[in-house]
Homo-oligomer: A and B are copies of this chain.
Amino acid sequence: MEKETKRAGKVEIEWLPDKTDRMPIYRQIVHYVGTKISNGDWVVGDRLPSQRQLADLFHVNRSTINEAMDELKAMGLIEGNFGKGTQIINNTWSLLVSAKPPNWQSYIEAGIYKANFPTIQMINKLEFMEGITRLSTGELSPDLFPHDMMRKVFQRIPERTRSLNYLGPLGLPELRKVLSQYLRKHNIHVSPSCILIVSGSLQALQLISIGILHPRSTVFVEVPSYLKSLHVFESSGMRLEGVQMDDYGLMPWMLNKNRIKDDTALLYTIPTFHNPTGTVMTKARRKEVFEWCRKNRLPIIEDDAYRELWIDRQPPEPLKSMDHNGMVLYMGTISKSLAPGLRIGWLAGPESVMERLGDIKMQTDYGASSVSQWALAEWIESGLYEEHLQVLRGHLKERRNMVLSVLDSCYKGIASWNHPEGGFYIWLKLNKNISTDKLFQLALEEKLLINPGNVYDFSKNKNIRISYAYAESRALENGLRKLSELIRKLY
């Protein structure tokens, strides 16, 4: 559609806007004129036809021309002048398009919150790559999603929900009542007013970080720890300090007492099916940990995300079940056991702390999705959640056994590993030091995605987190075999 000749002083136009195009006509005109100028076809000082002439030339009405001219003026490319008509006064169209917008990069760099670790950012994106096999992903396979049960739950939601208005700071009262009842199953006795609904466990940590800690607080975590892969505390200035583990769980006597002072420290622990090592803290060790923290007045965040995912036997009761003095902030979720997409977790602890964190939640996102909250209440109350868990445990057992047998046949001599009794994870310890980053790259070339252990640890190490929960069984098996070959190659 483009044909035109240029004459000094006054431009000539032999072009028509495309009325079938999705781009508004006035913007097509802006784009046309802008391109003419930036191409140097039209130069500073050139005059445009009058608005009436332009309307005729473009077969459009005056208001469209008006709009286009206004924008070109706003861009500083032309200037209207009653005496002289409209003139081109600038040729910096390309500059306007590329360089004049705000310098967002400098805004981004100024931002307070740390960017995610490059490896994690990469994993977050690669997970959605076509054809990739995710050997380390910490969630249930889509195959394990209880679709028919979910349908039943969704049918019930409209019956229970007269509206979906804003809720109070602690979350849906009906759900908090259901959870108060549900937690008794684990020997935790808390009233609904001591339960805060959050949009997943990670948000609970985020609220704790900005709600009850200050920038010089210390957060003790197991070595290795899932928490090390997050910036949730460090972005607000807190310091993570590692506590060594043995096969029975973290060793409280290894804690650096000097860092517990002025009521500023917390211990974060996953005592049950620990992420990433799969360790279950024994009953005796739980008592030791609890007692140590009580004596030293060190509050505990107990992350119990994996409790329901036991395979061989029920794990010992939570630390929270020993707590009569509000020592423990207890975190639960259905993200690992049912569906992360609901984005619902809960935090149980002293009422004053729950109120403080609820107040901040109101100030940052006005609460969690009511739809998700109603859905979870229905899942638990209907008994479908328990039913689902029983089925799920069977599937996880099969998957775990399959993976353990692949490890037995392909990884002997190159690695050692734990035999998890629940949860998702096998912590694969390589026998030799190799670059797990290099392994990550090699695996990626084979369309295998792994989470290198150094994401979770305090120093470079030679571990890989394997999850038997996510990948499709056949792909998981083949992927693990392939991975063993890559490791051998690097040895």
Q: Which A residues fall within an 8 A CB radius of B? A: 22-24, 70-71, 74, 96-97, 100-108, 110-116, 121, 124-125, 127-128, 139-140, 142, 145, 147, 150-151, 154-155, 157-158, 161-169, 184, 187, 189, 199-200, 202-203, 206, 209-215, 217, 230-232, 235-236, 262-264, 287, 290-291, 294, 297-299, 322, 324-327, 335, 339-344, 350, 352-353, 356, 359-360, 362-372, 375
A155-B154, A363-B232 given; A370·B352 CB < 8 A: no
Which chain B positions have C-beta within 8 A of A139?
165-166
Ordered by A's residue number, 22 sampled pairs between the chains whose C-beta atoms are within 8 Å are A24-B187, A100-B294, A102-B326, A105-B352, A110-B217, A111-B356, A112-B211, A112-B214, A116-B359, A124-B362, A139-B165, A147-B162, A150-B161, A154-B157, A164-B342, A165-B341, A199-B365, A199-B368, A340-B366, A341-B369, A341-B371, A343-B368
Contact B369 A104 (CB under 8 A): no
Contact A352 B102 (CB under 8 A): no
Contact B74 A364 (CB under 8 A): no
Contact B166 A145 (CB under 8 A): no
Contact B112 A210 (CB under 8 A): yes
Which chain B positions have C-beta within 8 A of A235?
210, 363
Q: Which residue of B lies closest to A156 (CB)?
A: B154
Most buried by B among A213, A264, A324: A324
Which chain B positions have C-beta within 8 A of A167?
341
Which chain B positions have C-beta within 8 A of A74?
287, 290-291, 294, 322
Contact A163 B142 (CB under 8 A): yes
Contact A213 B112 (CB under 8 A): yes
Q: Which residue of B lies closest to A143 (CB)?
A: B163
Which chain B positions have C-beta within 8 A of A142?
162-163, 165
Which chain B positions have C-beta within 8 A of A150?
158, 161, 164
Contact A366 B343 (CB under 8 A): yes
Contact B100 A325 (CB under 8 A): yes
Contact B352 A108 (CB under 8 A): yes
Contact A203 B369 (CB under 8 A): no
A128-B168, A263-B102, A363-B235 given; A70·B287 CB < 8 A: yes
Contact A324 B206 (CB under 8 A): no
Contact A339 B70 (CB under 8 A): no
Contact of A200 among B100, B214, B366 (CB under 8 A): B366
Which chain B positions have C-beta within 8 A of A375?
371
Which chain B positions have C-beta within 8 A of A290?
74
Which chain B positions have C-beta within 8 A of A369?
199, 341-344, 368-369, 371-372
Which 7 pairs across A and B sit closest by C-beta, in order of nearness? A164-B341, A341-B370, A369-B369, A142-B163, A164-B339, A101-B325, A145-B163
- The minimal Cβ–Cβ distance linking A318 to chain B, given in whole angstroms, is 14
A96-B325, A263-B106 given; A168·B341 CB < 8 A: no
